[in-house]
């Protein structure tokens, strides 16, 4: 072998070592819980009509159609990229395969905090059932990869847990009086307290299973989503009465997360204040590089108030749209939320994700 060829080989090795794909991740794993905002394909296998396993969903995603309820990446995907981890695979689809050490996605479209939320669409995994699956992961699958319980505990304590849940408890439950009687039984503020109390119990379960760094996303401004704005009379761009109802839940989150952080030893609960950011992007889209914050990008059922119609060509400039279908956001909108949560303590508080991984 000549000196020139050896030098070339050493140069390739050096450049290879600089690749971010081979740098150490910032956290050992990312565990994802919630609803269709984060679902990466769990609903593909569940007996439900709440699915996104067809085009145009995934039209801009590198892996194509996966069951993500958007055109590309979700907030969870952007956070995984920042952490230097693979996208968390859907838990349900790998039950018979080897459990990855880099995290799993338990999120399920149409699910909520309350067990009955979403059941009119078929079977989904409510938050408690998602934690049941995580319990199986922790108790039965992960131990075989670690030499001791202490090593497993350290793995979990340094991992990042992200949760986006609660929207469907309003969209598919409280705001559906012909299907559910929750709005009859509970005024808005007691209902919000019911959700927050239930959520606190779920968080304690996660803590007892080893979670320590937990990021909870607020419910977004659902009074602005096309499925609401196109079916209710309103002044302005959003149905503000609906936004007000949801605000009672978001207003109670900070106290819950502070309480849990102070009482559950070694825990850090982060509040992702995504509601105002989303609302501002909807009301002032040019500030965020967007042009359309009113209409779905894909062609949906029921005149823009439902999911994408299969195989129809969506708008050509999804990166300029806030909404992908009548409920979900585009990759561009998710990128905005994730980037702010990673870097900005005014959105993710008291620590952004960049700071959270260093704790």
Report the candidate in 357, 352, 284 with the shortest Cα–Cα distance to residue 322. Answer: 284
Annotated catalytic residue within 35, 77, 119, 325: 325
Rounded (10°) CA dihedral 204, 206, 209, 215: -120
CA distance 155 to 161: 12
DSSP string, 219-242: P--GGGSHHHHTTS--SSSS-HHH
Annotated catalytic residue within 35, 198, 267, 328: 328
Sign for the pseudo-dihedral over CA of 186, 165, 93, 98: negative
DSSP string, 64-105: --SS-SSSS--HHHHHHHHHT-PPPPBTGGGTTSPPPTT--B
155 catalytically annotated: no
Would you say 223 and 212 are in contact if contact means Cβ atoms under 8 Å apart? no
H-type alpha helices, the chain: 3-18, 75-83, 127-136, 149-158, 167-169, 182-185, 188-208, 226-229, 240-263, 274-283, 331-343, 353-356
Annotated catalytic residue within 36, 110, 111, 198: 36
36 catalytically annotated: yes
328 catalytically annotated: yes
CA gyration radius, the chain: 21
Report the candidate in 165, 170, 174 with the shortest Cα–Cα distance to residue 216. Answer: 165
- The tokens for 296 are 């779905």
- The tokens for 21 are 């794909």
Q: How many residues does the chain have?
A: 359
Distance between first and last Cα of the chain = 49
Residues marked active site are found at 36, 325, 328
């Amino acid at each position: 072998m000549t000196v020139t060829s050896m030098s070339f080989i050493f140069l390739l090795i050096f450049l290879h070592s600089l690749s971010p794909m081979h740098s150490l991740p910032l956290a050992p794993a990312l565990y994802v819980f919630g609803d269709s905002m984060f679902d990466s394909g769990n609903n593909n296998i569940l007996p439900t009509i709440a699915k996104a396993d067809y085009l145009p969903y995934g039209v801009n995603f590198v892996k194509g159609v996966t069951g993500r309820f958007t055109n590309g990446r979700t907030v969870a995907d952007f956070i995984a990229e920042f952490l230097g981890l693979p996208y968390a695979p859907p838990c349900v689809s790998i039950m018979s395969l080897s459990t990855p050490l880099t995290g799993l996605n338990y999120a399920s479209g149409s699910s909520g905090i309350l067990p009955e939320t979403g059941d009119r669409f078929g079977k989904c995994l409510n938050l408690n059932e998602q934690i049941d699956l995580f319990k199986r992961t922790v108790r039965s699958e992960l131990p075989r990869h670690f030499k001791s319980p202490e090593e497993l505990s350290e793995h979990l304590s340094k991992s990042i847990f992200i949760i986006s849940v609660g929207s469907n408890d309003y969209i598919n439950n409280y705001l559906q009086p012909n299907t559910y009687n929750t709005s009859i039984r509970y005024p808005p503020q007691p209902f919000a307290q019911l959700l927050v109390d239930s959520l606190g119990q779920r968080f304690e379960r996660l803590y007892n299973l080893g979670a320590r760094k937990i990021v909870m996303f607020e419910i977004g401004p659902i009074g602005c989503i096309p499925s609401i704005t196109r079916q209710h009379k309103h002044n302005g761009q959003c149905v503000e009465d609906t936004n007000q109802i949801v605000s009672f839940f978001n207003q109670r989150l900070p106290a819950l997360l502070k309480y849990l952080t102070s009482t559950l030893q070694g825990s850090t609960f982060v509040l992702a204040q995504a509601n105002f950011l989303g609302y501002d992007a909807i009301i002032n889209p040019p500030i965020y590089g967007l042009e359309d914050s009113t209409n779905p990008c894909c062609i949906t059922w029921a005149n823009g108030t439902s999911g994408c119609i299969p195989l129809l060509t969506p708008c050509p400039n999804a990166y300029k749209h806030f909404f992908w279908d009548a409920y979900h956001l585009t990759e561009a909108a998710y990128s905005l939320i994730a980037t702010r949560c990673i870097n900005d303590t005014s959105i993710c508080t008291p620590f952004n994700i960049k700071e959270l991984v260093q704790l």
